[in-house]
Each structure stands twice: as C-alpha cells, then as structure tokens.
A and B are shown apart, each in its own frame.
Chain A
C-alpha cells in the first residue's frame, strides 16, 4: 500500500500549488500544457504531478499518448478548511492580546 503521499507533502511545494491553481482554473491539463505556463521543465512537471497524484490531489486519465489531469477537490477543501480555522483562531487571539494590552491597567500590580 506504499506510494501514498500525504496531502500536505503535495501542497508543500510552491510549483505544485501553482499546478493545482492552473488545473482548477482550466479544469484539465497535461504535463505539456502545464509546463508551458511554468518556469520549470516538462520533466519537472511530470514529477510534481506524480507527487500530487500519490497525494490524491489530482487524478489522471490516459488519452492517446498523454495523460490529462484534473484536481480532486475534496482533500484540498479539507486542507483549506483547516487553514481557514487556524487563521480565524489567530485573529481571535490577536484581538484578545489587543484588548488586554489596551485595557487601562488596574494599578493593582506594579511592574
């Protein structure tokens, strides 16, 4: 059962994140069509797509000689939701720090 890449490993590389963006925008892409829009070689794109595929973030379908890839939205949505919650938590903590720091000091403690 080897070869399954973690979703976040898939997302950890900026080129891979860009590949996902491009696939999401266009609906489908091949290593060739993606490489045309990226500052990396087609060979590098093939490797990135393999990682994304193992992570379950894209799925490929062989058509003739090329493989057409699409984004699989569910794992990305789970990761994005986790990120959104963390962002919201930080906003709440920063608001709490601000509220404490700006509160008039009670004067009961001397620093």
Chain B
C-alpha cells in the first residue's frame, strides 16, 4: 500500500449466504460480539441514535453509536479510536463512521464496509492506537472452529 493515505477505507467480501442471514450476523448483538472478537454487548439499543456497549477484555468498554439502520441493506455506526481511552464515547475528532451495505449477488450477498472520517481524527490518537495494538493480542476469536474457518477464508482470498 505504500504511503498512500485516503480519507476512507473500503473493503468488501462475497458471502455464500442469503442477504437476510448476513444482515442477522452483522446486526444481532450476539453475532456482533463474535466477529468483533469480544463478549456479547452489555447493553444494546439498536435504533438510530441508540448505543451498543461492548466490554472488551483488553480495550475496556467500547460504546458504539448507531447512525442508521435500514434492514436488511444498510447499517452504520460511529465509534471512537481505542486510544481515546476506555469507555470514551465517539465525538467529533476521535471517531470514525462505519457503514455496511448489503446487495444480492447471484445466490449470495456482497457485503461492503466503508470506514470514513479517517482523516478527521487526530494524528496523535491514531499513532497511539497503532502502538497500542502492536503490543496487544489484537482481535480474539471465540471458538477454535471459527478461527480455523476464518483462516481458511483469509488464505483462500490470498
């Protein structure tokens, strides 16, 4: 990737599952905890303007602010940088917006994620976060089976 820095991150994946199934996985609290790599949220108000709060072993409390939910195709939320401090709520200057969009593709679902507002954060927070994550385990997968499946998917993607 070199020294290119854009204002947003865009990634996508084709999933061999129906749209509704993918929607459930990304929006149901129990699943959300799993792919984030932490326990189920301690509280979840899944409405625009509502809060979903995770309690991560290493990073502490992570509050997420729901921006929009348009079942089953669009879901977005704000969250603060880890380095902003445990329990810090996302506010201007320390947060990014994550937007998921789902579209049918053949028999499967194209899941697209955009994380935007990257360059609106403060660089010193970004640097703190990079160093913090260098020193920690990073993401945690709940079950061994799931870990193996994820690794298979990653190595197949190349």
Q: Which positions in A face B, CB cutoff 8 Å?
A: 6-9, 11-12, 17, 20, 24, 73, 75-87, 89-103, 111
Contacts and interface: CB of A to CB of B under 8 A. Distances in A.
A94 B111 contact: yes
A26 to B, nearest CB: 15
Nearest to B14: A98
B150 A96 contact: yes
B52 interface: no
B29 to A, nearest CB: 13
Contacts, number: 123
Contacts of A77: 3
B7 A12 contact: yes
Nearest to A96: B35
Interface residues of B, number: 50
B153 A86 contact: no
Given A76-B3, A92-B139, A93-B36, A82 B153 contact: no
Determine the main DSSP class of A at the interface with B. Answer: helix
Contacts of A78: 123, 126-127, 130
Max chain A CB contacts within 10 Å: which of B16, B26, B126? B126
B24 A111 contact: yes
Interface stretch (B53-61, B66-74, B112-120): B112-120
